[in-house]
């Protein structure tokens, strides 16, 4: 792999890691929101949607981690 492509991939890795960190912050905020829903509403649609959002954000974080791993592998680091 040439230097130009390696540099582009390194830049992409940096951006993906930044996106992952932003998603983690949002996921944590959503978890906090979900966890602060009153106990009498924990079987409500509102709670379920917040819980589903937490799971989806967690999946997105995992996918970005996996993408970074694949790109790093392709760069040979």
Closest CA to 24 of 67, 73, 59, 51: 59
Split into its structural domains, the chain has a count of 1
Tens of pLDDT, residue by residue over 11-67, are 999 999 999 999 999 999 999 999 999 999 999 999 999 999 999 999 999 999 999
What's CA 9's distance to the chain center, in Å? 19
The predicted model scores a pTM of 0.86
Please report how many Cα atoms fall inside a 13 Å half-sphere around the Cα of residue 8, on the Cβ side. Answer: 5
Tens of pLDDT, residue by residue over 34-43, are 999 999 999 9
Segments forming the whole domain that contains residue 67: 3-75
């Amino acid at each position: 792999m040439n230097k130009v492509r390696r540099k582009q991939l390194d830049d992409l890795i940096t951006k993906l890691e930044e996106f992952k960190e932003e998603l983690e912050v949002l996921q944590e905020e959503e978890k906090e929101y979900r966890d602060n829903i009153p106990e009498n509403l924990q079987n409500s649609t509102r709670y379920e949607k917040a819980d589903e959002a937490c799971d989806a954000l967690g999946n997105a974080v995992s996918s970005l981690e996996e993408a970074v791993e694949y790109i790093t592998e392709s760069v040979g680091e």
